[in-house]
């Protein structure tokens, strides 16, 4: 369940279950959260570019597939 929570919510869950985790672990969790956020943003940007490219090629595909019909 802890890997579903982000940022401070995860910190509270981890520290509530036992002794407080070392600061290095909390810093590492923050780094991982930031990396996940960056990866999601990059994925969204790639998907947008892919959709744009598909839209640009639609007319050409129609012409190519409709030739000789």
Q: Of 62, 57, 4, give the one whose Cα is nearest residue 33.
A: 4
Q: Does the pLDDT value for residue 2 go beyond 50?
A: no
The pLDDT value given to residue 64: 67
**H helix intervals, the chain:** 7-17, 23-66
Question: With pLDDT > 70 as the criterion, what percentage of the chain qualifies?
Answer: 57
The pLDDT value given to residue 22: 77
Could you identify the residue written with the tokens 């890997």?
A: 3
Average pLDDT over residues 36-51: 90
Q: Of 7, 14, 13, give the one whose Cα is nearest residue 31.
A: 7
| 12-31: pLDDT as tens digits | 565 556 677 678 877 888 88
């Amino acid at each position: 369940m802890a890997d579903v929570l982000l940022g401070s919510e995860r910190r509270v869950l981890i520290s509530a279950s036992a002794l407080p985790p070392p600061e290095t672990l909390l810093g590492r969790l923050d780094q991982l959260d930031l990396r996940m956020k960056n990866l999601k943003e990059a994925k969204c940007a790639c998907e947008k570019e892919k959709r744009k490219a598909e839209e640009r090629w639609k007319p050409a595909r129609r012409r190519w597939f409709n030739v000789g019909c």
